[in-house]
Homo-oligomer: A and B are copies of this chain.
Amino acid sequence: MKTFDNLKLCKKDARKGKTIISVGGVQIGSGFTMIAGPCSVESEEQTYKTALPLKKMGVDILRGGVFKARTSPYDFQGLGIDGLKILNKVGKEFNLPVITEVLDTRDVEITSKYVDILQVGSRNMQNFSLLKEVGSSGKPVLLKRGMSATLEEWLNCAEYILEKGNPDVILCERGIRTFETYTRNTLDMTVVPSLKLLTHLPVLVDPSHGTGTPELIEPMSLSAVGAGADGLMIEVHHNPSEALSDKVQAINPKEYSVIISKVRKMHTFITSNLV
């Protein structure tokens, strides 16, 4: 088995116990963290309408994209700083910590003022300038796995952030690219327990991007709980058919309520009976 010799700070034996990250009263890495919200922040109304039911169901953290990494330059690119302000406002209203993706080193400082957690997306996993910048931001960072990144490469990217003095890194599996075309990506569930062997950092799973298929989000969420994940990030839109991005894979709050309920029950069962 590989030893990953070039890693230092993120290795399991680099500290005692798991990393637990405190954000607005939520403990990521302890218990089971549910992050949900729209792919994109489209308007205050849309963000509010989505956040309201999520808060009632007990979601821990609100997500929403404002700088969008889109395949085509002709696709919706996000609301930018206006979106940051909306996300911040709605988060405060519902007392929900908020997370958004940052794409550009020049946006890290302003984004850090409005959100609680910075996300580095798949396409930027090895954007080393960005990793260094979020490593110096003072904010927790959720680092998604690149579409064809090995575990070793992914952990080295976490190391870039840790090395800048930021201990608060959350790893998030979101599916890798394979030959299979039935699902958008191939969710690599094995990385969850593999990471638990290798690192002290919390590990989340994103079944929305991982499958791209609403019907598969519930079973893959339960599968992630079984695999030992520390939480889930799921795309929820108050009206998916009107979403400006990723409309195919988003679910509505009612569909999400079934998932969060089952996930919570299963996590409680496992921690009470199977450890």
Binds B, one of A17-25, A34-42, A121-129: A121-129
- From known contacts A127-B123, A183-B190, infer whether A226 and B223 are also in contact, taking CB-CB under 8 Å: yes
Q: Which of the four size classes fits the interface of chain A?
A: 35 or more
List CB contacts (< 8 Å) of A99-143 with chain B: 103-107, 123-124, 126-130
Asked whether, in the complex, the Cβ of A226 is within 8 Å of the Cβ of B228, the reply is no
Asked whether, in the complex, the Cβ of A220 is within 8 Å of the Cβ of B129, the reply is no
With a CB–CB cut-off of 8 A, which chain B residues contact A178? 176, 178-179, 186, 188
Which of B159, B219, B274 sits near A227, CB closer than 8 Å? B219
A74 nearest CB neighbor, chain B only: B6
A88 to B152, CA, bound (A): 35
A128 to B2, CA, bound (A): 31
A210 to B225, CA, bound (A): 19
With a CB–CB cut-off of 8 A, which chain B residues contact A26? none
A53 to B120, CA, bound (A): 43
Asked whether, in the complex, the Cβ of B129 is within 8 Å of the Cβ of A104, the reply is yes
Task: Please tell me if A43 contacts chain B, counting CB pairs below 8 Å.
Answer: no
With a CB–CB cut-off of 8 A, which chain B residues contact A75? 6
Asked whether, in the complex, the Cβ of A219 is within 8 Å of the Cβ of B228, the reply is yes
- From known contacts A127-B124, A219-B228, infer whether A186 and B176 are also in contact, taking CB-CB under 8 Å: yes
A195 nearest CB neighbor, chain B only: B182
Task: Please tell me if A216 contacts chain B, counting CB pairs below 8 Å.
Answer: yes
Instruction: Mark A211-234 against chain B: 1 for CB-CB distance below 8 A, else 0.
Output: 101011001101111111000000
Asked whether, in the complex, the Cβ of B223 is within 8 Å of the Cβ of A182, the reply is no
With a CB–CB cut-off of 8 A, which chain B residues contact A176? 178, 180, 186
Task: Please tell me if A27 contacts chain B, counting CB pairs below 8 Å.
Answer: no
Write the residues of chain A forming the contact surface with B, with a CB cutoff of 8 angstroms: 1-2, 6-8, 69-75, 103-107, 123-124, 126-130, 147-148, 150-153, 156, 159-160, 163, 176-183, 186-190, 192-194, 196-197, 210-211, 213, 215-216, 219-220, 222-228, 262, 265-266, 269-270, 273-274
A-B contact pairs, 22 of them (CB 8 A): A2-B182, A8-B74, A69-B126, A69-B128, A71-B153, A72-B159, A73-B160, A105-B105, A107-B129, A123-B126, A127-B127, A147-B148, A150-B181, A180-B188, A182-B194, A190-B220, A193-B216, A222-B228, A223-B224, A262-B274, A269-B269, A269-B273
